[in-house]
Amino acid sequence: MQQKSKKGSKAKREPDSNIRTPIVVVMGHVDHGKTSLLDKIRGTAVVDLEAGAITQHIGATEVPLEVIQDFCGSHFGEDIQVPGLLFIDTPGHHAFTSLRSRGGSLADLAVLIVDMNEGFQPQTIESLTILKRYKTPFVVAANKMDRIAGWRPMKNSSFAKTLKAQNERVVEELDTKLYEIVGELYKYGFDADRYDRIRDFTKTVGIVPISALTGEGVPDLLMVLVGLTQRFLKDNLKITASGPGVGTILEVKEERGLGTTLDVILYDGVIKAGDTVLVGTANEPILTKIRALLKPKPLAEIRSEERFLPVKQVVAASGVKVAGPKLEGALAGSTIRVIESSANVDALVKQMKSELDSVRIDTENEGVILKADTIGSLEALVGELKAKNIPIHTADVGPISRKDVIRASMIKDRLLSVILGFNIEILPDAISEIQKTSVPVFQSDVIYSILENYDTWVDEQKTKIEQERLEAIIRPGAIRILPDCVFRQSKPAIVGVQVIGGVIRTQVPLIRDDGAVAGIIKGIQEHNENIGSATVGMEVAVAIDGPTVGRQIHEGDILYVNIPEKHARIVEQELMPRLAEDERETMENFLAIKRKKEPFWGR
């Protein structure tokens, strides 16, 4: 029995040294299997292949082509030139929005992982929105097919092989779940189908059924990713193999014994210990010298690994930890660039600043205040708000400060007098200012949630504003002065009345049924208790400033609330269907009085 030599397979392949490893980001909703998928790929290599076959990077895992070929049991049927795949370990959307270059995403491909049993969730939708904005090609990994009742697992097998082992009912249920995903993707503007039914991957999104737990379908996913990069993205992967390194800062971290460090994805050139680098910050880029370049131990999971191994240099594409002085102000999502000559530093500083300034917003216009953790996150949020036509007053990177709260409190439009914060903290002095001003703050580490919560709040506020507007409207009301109930003739006149329609309130003017002004209600009492209003049927005492009983008003007179013309128009045009019968009748009588002399009054 012949066995394929691993060394032999390596000797056959001579990848182009100027083609970097494609960068792949795994995205999706929490608990849908992002980490399990990467763990399956790493774990299988540890068990089945020679130690160290997979290279562990800072924030990334590099899977060489030999590993993929052995895992898949296939040479792909063509001359593969890409060296393998570099999977980003950092939580999907954060990595995606941090991996930026010249306003676009550095991710060459994305895997959108969806639990086929739960379907689309908020972070699934957010991931799709981001992928669409950056025009990044992606594949859907429909995970957890092993959870279908009656599933017969076949560890690490191809999808075609495992499908043959399933009964007809299981296959039908799988197809139903996949078509539900196809339908969801269609809603968001994507044509999709199961990957083995697709002829043109440039027009149709491939859905690969997998189980991150059993490894079924994972070989197919790796094959599709390598095939897509080889066929469509090879030209995008050309690098300057020996030039000065350029990378994106994935995260800024405090490491024990090292101080502030940068987790960097190097996407072009070479970076060495001792190099002078220009590092992007929220303000002026800083020049510093690399004290150390660090990588995790082979096959160690970076998130649980505390100790790193120093390396002298790193070649793109690669993840590396950078240690050095003055890194405290470094900004995730910005660029780190090796400087070979001081001659072009000023131009590079200007270029870095313009990259951040192109995303920042600072206007005098009415709008919301926007704060985010990285340039990419800010860019994504700005894009979402612009798509919804929500005006922005300021947009910047960093925590919510007292200045932000003060600026928000000065916005006159109460629907825009808010702060939207993505994945950032609120500084202590800002918290006390929020308590003083009651400026609403919408915070989340999911863009979708921020916007959904803000939209819900806006709808509630609009309802409240409308209620306040209508409550401020002077509504129809009429009273009859009761006989033998004159308690004072004038200054003010105090008389007993019955409310015969609508409602009366203090401080509203009254007119007689001939249109003459009768006075203003200064007070209302019931059983010697002051009350603010009285409704139909109530008998109360009212103090009317202006008239004298026996001259301007008399016992038995009917007096109407004198509604201002603007209010009368709103009542007639908007509120009539909502009025009680007595209110409608009172309003009609009032309008008849007003329109006797002016036919178009209030129209």
The predicted-structure confidence for 354-373, as pLDDT tens digits, reads as follows: 877 777 888 889 999 999 98
Q: What is the CATH number of domain 246-356?
A: 2.40.30.10
Superfamily (CATH H level) for 477-597 = Translation factors (2.40.30.10)
List strand residue ranges (DSSP E) for 461-548, in order.
477-488, 493-505, 509-512, 517-526, 529-531, 533-535, 539-545
C-alpha 373/C-alpha 425 separation (Å) is 9
Over range 86-97, report the average pLDDT: 64
Q: Which residue matches tokens 């059983």?
A: 527
**Does residue 208 contact residue 195 with C-beta atoms inside 8 Å?**
yes
Over range 69-87, report the average pLDDT: 73
Highest-confidence range of 70-84, 435-449, 478-492, by mean pLDDT? 478-492
pLDDT tier for residue 603 given thresholds of 50, 70 and 90:
confident
Q: What is the DSSP letter of 529?
A: E
Over range 54-76, report the average pLDDT: 70
pLDDT value for 70 = 77
pLDDT tier for residue 441 given thresholds of 50, 70 and 90:
very high
Query: Nearest Cα to 229, choosing from 90, 23, 533?
Result: 23
Query: Nearest Cα to 39, choosing from 143, 179, 134?
Result: 143
Q: What is the DSSP letter of 275?
A: -
Over range 53-69, report the average pLDDT: 71
Exposure string of 348-385, with b = 16+ CB inside 10 Å and e = fewer, is ebeebeebbeebbbeeeeebbbbbbbbbbbbbbbbbbb
pLDDT value for 76 = 53
Helices (H) then strands (E): counts for the chain: 15, 33
Look at the domain 6-237 and name its fold.
Rossmann fold (3.40.50)
More confident residue, 479 or 467: 479
Over range 442-450, report the average pLDDT: 85
- Residue spans in the chain of domains classed CATH 3.40.50.300: 6-237
Name the β-bridge partners of 193. 206
Average pLDDT, the chain: 86
Q: Is the pLDDT of residue 45 over 60?
A: no
Over range 93-105, report the average pLDDT: 57
Query: Could you give phi then psi for residue 207, rounded to 5 degrees?
Result: -110, 120
Using DSSP, state whether 511 is helix, strand or coil.
strand
Query: Could you give phi then psi for residue 518, rounded to 5 degrees?
Result: -105, -25
Q: Which ranges of 438-476 would DSSP assign to H, the alpha helix?
A: 447-472
Over range 586-601, report the average pLDDT: 93
Over range 255-267, report the average pLDDT: 89
Q: What is the DSSP letter of 573?
A: I
C-alpha 149/C-alpha 114 separation (Å) is 18
More confident residue, 47 or 31: 31
Q: Is the pLDDT of residue 544 over 80?
A: yes
Token readout for 591 is 């309008």
pLDDT tier for residue 47 given thresholds of 50, 70 and 90:
very low
pLDDT value for 296 = 75
CB atoms inside a 10 Å sphere around CB 298? 13
Over range 34-57, report the average pLDDT: 59
Over range 57-76, report the average pLDDT: 73
Q: What is the DSSP letter of 148?
A: S
C-alpha torsion 109→115→118→123, nearest 10 = -40
Over range 230-244, report the average pLDDT: 74
C-alpha 269/C-alpha 247 separation (Å) is 9
Over range 251-276, report the average pLDDT: 90
pLDDT value for 147 = 95
pLDDT value for 58 = 64
pLDDT tier for residue 303 given thresholds of 50, 70 and 90:
very low
Over range 162-188, report the average pLDDT: 95
Q: C-alpha distances in angstroms, 83 versus 7, 39, 201, 466? A: 15, 20, 21, 62
Amino acid at 378: L
C-alpha torsion 341→318→143→219, nearest 10 = 130
Q: C-alpha distances in angstroms, 397 versus 161, 376, 421? A: 49, 10, 10
pLDDT value for 55 = 52
Amino acid at 552: Q
∠179-184-190 over CA atoms, to 5°? Answer: 100
pLDDT in tens, 135-157: 889 999 999 999 999 999 999 89
Q: Is the pLDDT of residue 125 over 50?
A: yes
Over range 274-298, report the average pLDDT: 89
- Residue spans in the chain of domains classed CATH 2.40.30.10: 246-356, 477-597
pLDDT value for 490 = 92
Query: Nearest Cα to 389, choosing from 441, 450, 455?
Result: 455
Query: Nearest Cα to 24, choosing from 99, 127, 81?
Result: 99
Q: What is the CATH number of domain 360-468?
A: 3.40.50.10050
Q: C-alpha distances in angstroms, 198 versus 180, 341, 503? A: 17, 50, 70
pLDDT value for 169 = 96
**Does residue 87 contact residue 81 with C-beta atoms inside 8 Å?**
no
pLDDT in tens, 366-418: 999 999 988 878 888 888 899 899 999 999 988 999 999 999 999 999 999 99
pLDDT tier for residue 251 given thresholds of 50, 70 and 90:
confident
Q: Is the pLDDT of residue 432 over 80?
A: yes
Q: Up-side HSE of residue 583: CA atoms within 13 Å toward CB?
A: 17
C-alpha 97/C-alpha 111 separation (Å) is 15
Q: Of 53-62, 167-176, 344-353, which range is least confident?
A: 53-62
C-alpha 180/C-alpha 308 separation (Å) is 44
pLDDT value for 27 = 85
- Residue spans in the chain of domains classed CATH 3.40.50.10050: 360-468
pLDDT tier for residue 49 given thresholds of 50, 70 and 90:
very low
Using DSSP, state whether 139 is helix, strand or coil.
strand
Q: Is the pLDDT of residue 589 over 90?
A: yes
pLDDT value for 304 = 42
Query: Could you give phi then psi for residue 596, rounded to 5 degrees?
Result: -65, -40
C-alpha 262/C-alpha 196 separation (Å) is 41
